[in-house]
Amino acid sequence: MTHWTLGIIGGSGLYALDGLTDVSEQVVDTPWGAPSAPLTRGRLNGIELVFLPRHGSGHAIPPSDIPFRANIAALKMAGCTDILSVSACGSLREDLPPGRFVMVDQYVDRTMGRERSFFGTGCVAHVPLARPVCSRLAGLVATAGEAVGLPVTRGGTYLAMEGPQFSTRAESELYRQWGMDVIGMTNMPEARLAREAELPYAGIAMVTDYDCWRDEGDSVDVAAVLAVMTSNTVGARQLLDRLTTRLAGVERTPSPDGIETCLDKAIITPPSARDADVVGRLRVIAGRVL
């Protein structure tokens, strides 16, 4: 049996995990620098977890400055088999109220200026991203949430905005016209990079507000978000407890979406034309095919 080693990327409100045993701290230095914080390793219900707060200790890193490449590379180097992203989000739908948990299955990336790939000049690759989320992991997470009584919506499109400001009303209305479901600032390019690292990725977005498109109520502000975030975080910890209990009884086999082998046909630069220094950096996330 292949064992699960689940990487947990905690977003706003989830800065630590409770109930871990065999806890240790791991400092990882990646070719793309240091991750947001040292990794916390431990076991929950027999499953090995590797926790990383994406905003760093004390929420000191804004969305645009998160070292996304270092974060994903660190989790890969730490031996993670899968990644679960937990993040706060705004709702763009009336039927996704604050307190709702949305199991994201699609993304629209509206971020600007963030490094979106491990690959580049010297070694070019194009990974498939039509289905950016691992269907098996997402299903297991959704089932765990439902089992502990959380209001879970299976499926939804996450609009990734740059931030750190919240949307204008015109932007919020535009995204609703596009058919977006929730909005946040951190799941991209995180999901893209996880795919390049051949790590199955799933994202659960915890709704904290209605963004600013509704006529009723005030526009979103930090105080309102924090009030909902506290209860959402309690629910997230309950979900993780049930998820790890379930994973302890499930054999870890490759993702049915072929994620662990997505680089097999993705690298377009022939070996003779690859830059040795670039390849050296890439080995930590793509050594299987280099």
Active site residues: 209, 211
The distance from CA 187 to its chain's CA centroid, rounded to whole angstroms, is: 5
Q: Is residue 178 exposed (0-12), middle (13-18) or buried (19+ Cβ within 10 Å)?
A: exposed
CB-based contacts of 64, cutoff 8 Å, min separation 6: 111, 113, 114, 162, 163, 164
| Integer Rg of the chain from CA | 18
Which two tokens mark 170?
A: 């015109």
Closest CA to 286 of 127, 82, 137: 127
**End-to-end Cα spacing for the chain:** 27
Amino acid in the structure at residue 270:
P
